Structure 1
Amino acid sequence: MTLIRLNHYIAQAGIASRRAADTLIGQGRVKVDDKVVKAMGVKINPSTQKVSVLHEKSKVWKEIEEVKEKITYVFYKPRGYTTTLKGQRGEKTIAEFLPKNARLFPVGRLDKDSEGLLLLTNNGELALTLTHPRTHVEKTYHVWCRIPKEYTENAVESQLGRVRGGVKLDGIMTKPMRINIVGIKRGAVDLEITLTEGRNRQIRRVLGKINLEVTRLIRTKIGTLTLKEFNLQPGELYQLPADYTYE
């Protein structure tokens, strides 16, 4: 019989971090075998016991399903597809590229107009590690922009200097970002941008503040994982080995 701490089990399922799971337990929002558990340090047997969590908004108890085999895919998300498994009628989603009946969810998001590296997994703890603000996992993007024709390289560099340290989006400052010019010609510039956060359409909105219009955006790197390493084409998947080490 293999026992696991209740907060660890909740984290593995991708519901919350271990610390946040402790908060859920303390609030009486976790049941084990239909009984509310508030004590810390409780251990369970996932093979024989049922764990449910009370959803804050819907006020519905949802049972956690045990993940028997942890699977993670590297995916090249094509442009024009939403990073969801169930979209609106007629909407193209990444679900059409995934194995049938696979219980996977995306780690982070890329907006519909963006493309590139995306992780898909059933490993909730991995997803939390890679997306939690406290871990500062870097994500790198190659970004093509349309710029005013009168902008010289010095002018572009000057404008980029205004946003590298962060700008306000929705009243909250973004974290500093690395932005390097890859190439420039009249009316266009290529950039490499590295972030440690992923707010909604962040790069497009930040660059828009300095009159740079994004025409193409590809995520090329997450942590140490690179798109080039796996030589993927848009829409292709690669399953990572079970012993793959994330840094």
Structure 2
Amino acid sequence: MRLDKFMTECGIGSRSEVKKLLSMKLITVNGIISKNADMKIDEVNDRIEFNGKELQYRKFRYYMMNKPAGVITAAEDRKHDIVMDLLPEWVIKKDLFPVGRLDKDTEGLLLFTNDGEFSHKVLSPKSHVEKEYFVILEKDISDDEIKKVESGVIIDDGYNTKESRIGRHSGNEIFLTIVEGKFHQVKQMMEAVGNRVTYLKRVRFADLLINDLEPGGVAEVSREDIVKG
């Protein structure tokens, strides 16, 4: 791999920016200052340092965010605050995008990656990847209503939801696990049994738990953290 390509894929900057850094003698290969953008390097075995810090090459990157309410899941929007603006400086943003979406008023676990194949796989209903939500409802939900939701309900567009799983936390607080992600699905599932969602937070995506990540916080994770095995 060319040195300038390696640097850009590590998120250091564009190729023209990398050339400027090379001219400033800020990049070393195996301890030797390099000025050659087209230098061939072994991205696995060579030690590349920028300004004294070793760069680790990873073709694909994965991050999790505890999305706060009031922010939309989009890569670009001129009218609203977007999740991409919450990513800290240490995140390598090159080719990064959110995996799926959470509604503006929904909080919780949102993934980011530059791995398009992985994103397509985990979002496909055929993959049966679980997403778990903590839900607070306007009023208590009965056992019969829980069974009805779990077996599948008809939502606004005439779609019959797949089987889901509900764990009761209190009378009007539940943990809902689904394997699909239609627009406003959780809200519509609750409306189908005459209830209304007042608070919604995704707490798990596949095998990855949000745990104690603070609102707006971001952490780097591995593909294996998300989907084990």
When normalised by structure 2's length, the TM-score is 0.68
What secondary structure sits across from 1:168 in the alignment? Answer: coil
Residues 195 and 241 of structure 1: is their aligned pair in 2 closer, same or farther, counting only changes over 3 Å?
Answer: closer
Residues 243 and 117 of structure 1: is their aligned pair in 2 closer, same or farther, counting only changes over 3 Å?
Answer: closer
Q: By how many angstroms is 1:181 displaced?
A: 1.5
Residues 242 and 126 of structure 1: is their aligned pair in 2 closer, same or farther, counting only changes over 3 Å?
Answer: closer
Over aligned residues, Cα RMSD in angstroms? Answer: 2.2
Q: By how many angstroms is 1:120 displaced?
A: 0.2
Q: By how many angstroms is 1:242 displaced?
A: 7.1
| Residue 218 (structure 2) pairs with residue 237 (structure 1) | yes
| Residue 186 (structure 2) pairs with residue 197 (structure 1) | no
Runs of 4+ in 1 over 3 A off after TM superposition: 99-102, 241-245
What secondary structure sits across from 2:105 in the alignment? Answer: coil
1:16-44 alpha-carbon deviations (Å, 9 max, x no partner):
xxxxxxxxxxxxxxxxxxxxxxxxxxxxx
Return the letter of the residue paired with 2:83.
Answer: I
Q: By how many angstroms is 1:205 displaced?
A: 0.8
Q: By how many angstroms is 1:163 displaced?
A: 2.1
Aligned partners of 1:68 and 1:223: how far apart in 2? 22
Q: Do 2:137 and 2:199's aligned partners in 1 also have CA atoms closer than 8 Å?
A: yes
Name which of 126, 136, 148 aligns with 1:144. 136
Partner of 1:180: 167
Instruction: Give the 5 Å matches for 1:78-93.
Output: 78-89=68-79, 91-93=80-82
What secondary structure sits across from 1:95 in the alignment? Answer: helix
Partner of 2:158: 171
Instruction: Give the 5 Å matches for 1:95-174.
Output: 95-99=84-88, 101-147=93-139, 156-169=142-155, 170-174=157-161
Aligned partners of 2:188 and 2:219: how far apart in 1? 31
Residues 143 and 242 of structure 1: is their aligned pair in 2 closer, same or farther, counting only changes over 3 Å?
Answer: closer
Return the letter of the residue paired with 2:138.
Answer: R
Instruction: Give the 5 Å matches for 1:38-77.
Output: 69-77=59-67
Q: Do 2:208 and 2:225's aligned partners in 1 also have CA atoms closer than 8 Å?
A: no
Partner of 1:51: none
Aligned partners of 2:111 and 2:66: how far apart in 1? 9
What secondary structure sits across from 1:205 in the alignment? Answer: helix
Return the letter of the residue paired with 2:162.
Answer: K
Return the letter of the residue paired with 1:180.
Answer: G
Q: By how many angstroms is 1:99 displaced?
A: 4.4
Partner of 2:209: 226
1:99-149 alpha-carbon deviations (Å, 9 max, x no partner):
4653211111111110100110001111112111211001111101111xx
Return the letter of the residue paired with 1:156.
Answer: S
% identical aligned pairs: 33
Would you tell me which structure has more strand in proportion to its own residues?
1
1:70-111 alpha-carbon deviations (Å, 9 max, x no partner):
11101111111111011242x111021124653211111111
Q: Do 2:207 and 2:226's aligned partners in 1 also have CA atoms closer than 8 Å?
A: no
Aligned partners of 1:243 and 1:172: how far apart in 2? 32
Residues 156 and 110 of structure 1: is their aligned pair in 2 closer, same or farther, counting only changes over 3 Å?
Answer: same
When normalised by structure 1's length, the TM-score is 0.63
Partner of 2:227: 246
Return the letter of the residue paired with 1:96.
Answer: D
Aligned partners of 1:88 and 1:183: how far apart in 2? 40
1:153-184 alpha-carbon deviations (Å, 9 max, x no partner):
xx611222222211122122110111121112
What secondary structure sits across from 1:164 in the alignment? Answer: helix
Residues 218 and 207 of structure 1: is their aligned pair in 2 closer, same or farther, counting only changes over 3 Å?
Answer: same
